[in-house]
Structure 1
Amino acid sequence: MSANERRKKFSLLATIAIAPLLASAAVGQARPPAEETDPSAASSPHQRDATSTSASEAPATQTAEPASASTPHQQEVTEGKAMMKSVTPESFASQVAVIGKAEIELGQIALQNTKDENVRKYAERMIKDHSAADKKLKAIAAKENLQLPQSLDQEHESLKMKLQGMTGEQFDREYVKAMAKGHDKAVALFESASQQPQMPAELKQFAASTLPTLEQHKEMAHSLHSKAGS
């Protein structure tokens, strides 16, 4: 083989050897660079809509409202104290007169309608204590020229009529319930009056000295109410 033929043969072999490498490089250059994966782009339009809907429909976390720490009884006491903050001599004397009259008349109904010995004793205590307080109030009102109502207000008149139509356990439940609620308000009223600077001295002393008795009435009423199961 001549030198010229050997060179041609070598060139042919070299071309054959590097051809695959050149082809591979060409394919690599023609292929576009891979883009970073975008979850939203990779998903179909339906999937994107579903994802968007799920996110928008997910309920927002709601802040739980704190449960009221006070019971209905505590709320009534709080409201009663708020209403009594600015009690005047006239309003105090008028309210006490109505409360006293109501306690006496309701106690008399209780003696007729109850069959419970504890309720009977409570009613007797109401009549005795409120009659004594009523006597003191009238004497002070006369000195201070304060006009006292001679009849019940609508609230107590309605309660009186309601209780008159009840007997036995039904009466006992409603009576002690009314006594507990009424004495919550009465205690708040007397507490306020005993602390009012514009209250006449004798009327202020009356409020302060009567308060312990009313607190006993309140405690007894709530105890009876609890036992009555209502």
Structure 2
Amino acid sequence: MKTNAIAIGVLMSLSVASLSIAQQNSAGMNSSSTTMVGKESLQEFDSQNKKGAAAVSAVSPTNAKLSSADQSLMMEVAKGGMMQLEVSKIAQQKATNPEVRQLAQAEVDEQTSLSAKLKEIAQAKGVTLPETPDAETQAMITKLQEMSGAELDRMYVMESGVKGHEKLNKVMSKVESSASDTNLKGLAKAAHPLVKTHLKVAEQINNKL
């Protein structure tokens, strides 16, 4: 009888422990599934980023020559994208707020993809894009490198997340409405929805900081 009682006690202890582990795992899963970036769930934010990347990747370059006006538009896209990419690399490494890091990571992914496709289009058309940051971008890089903590988080979200995307939003609208080259117009159309998403999320994060 004593042996049976001990066995039953051990089984009950194991059952309680298993239940506790299951509850902890469930809580962890629920916590992960409700991680937010601005007002978007991380899962939805990731889904929108992947959809945007696929749309950009689907643009197929042609060797049709660009007009001088279209070349100017291409340079605007390249300049804005390079600034977003370079400052986001810094925020990706140094940001302390998890949502800011998620935004920076998404921006690095977006601009890396956009830059690669823009370069592919430019090469097909015989256009040389700038390979180094301009003075404005370099000044922003230097400023962010000197910052840390909440100060860096706020600076990045306002300057890159909000103001940078407001500029890109205008550039993409201009390209969609006035570019004559189908590749350039198609690239803007593919990338614009994600630019708008990142602007919206950046505004939401900025309101939290």
Aligned match of 1:96: 77
How far residue 90 of structure 1 moved from its aligned partner, in angstroms, is 1.3
Point out the structure with the larger helix share: 2
2:176 corresponds, among 194, 209, 219, to: 194
State the SS of the aligned residue for 2:96.
coil
Q: TM-score, normalised by structure 2?
A: 0.64
Does 2:197 match 1:216?
yes
Do the aligned residues in 2 keep the contact of 1:92 with 1:193 (CA within 8 Å)? yes
Is 1:146 the equivalent of 2:127? yes
Counterpart of 2:125, as a letter, is: E
Q: Which structure would you say has the larger Rg?
A: 1
Residue 88 of structure 2 is aligned to residue 110 of structure 1: no
> TM-score, structure 1 length as denominator?
0.59
Given that 2:122 and 2:129 are in contact with CA atoms closer than 8 Å, whether structure 1 keeps it comes out as: yes
Partner of 1:128: 109
Q: Is 2:92–2:104's contact at 8 Å kept on the other side of the alignment?
A: yes
Q: How does 1:1-230 map to 2 (within 5 A)?
A: 88-179=69-160, 180-196=162-178, 198-228=179-209
The aligned residue for residue 6 of structure 2 is none
Distance 1:199 1:153 in 2: 27
Q: Give distance in 1, aligned partners of 2:163 and 2:202.
A: 9
Q: Say whether the 8 Å CA contact 1:176–1:225 is kept in structure 2.
A: yes
The answer (yes or no) to whether the contact 1:90–1:147 under 8 Å persists in 2 is no
Residue segments in structure 1 that go unaligned for 5+ positions in a row: 1-86
Cα distance per residue 1:32-83 (max 9 Å; x no partner): xxxxxxxxxxxxxxxxxxxxxxxxxxxxxxxxxxxxxxxxxxxxxxxxxxxx
CA distance in 2: counterparts of 1:90 and 1:182, whole angstroms:
21
Q: Tell me the distance in 2 between the aligned counterparts of 1:96 and 1:134.
A: 9
State the AA in 2 paired with 1:183: H
Conservation of the 8 A alpha-carbon contact between 2:84 and 2:164: no
Q: How many residues align?
A: 141
RMSD: 1.4
Q: Distance in 2 between matches of 1:169 and 1:88?
A: 41
- Give the C-alpha shift of residue 203 in structure 1: 0.9
Residue ranges of structure 2 left out of the alignment (5+ in a row) = 1-67
1:176 and 1:221 in contact (8 A); partners too: yes
Deviation at 1:158, TM superposition (A): 0.7
Equivalent residues of 1:193, 1:207 under 8 A apart:
yes
Taking every aligned residue pair, what percent have the same amino acid on both sides? 28
Using the TM superposition, give the Cα deviation of residue 88 of structure 1 relative to its aligned residue in structure 2, in angstroms: 2.4
Deviation at residue 178 of structure 1 after TM alignment: 0.6
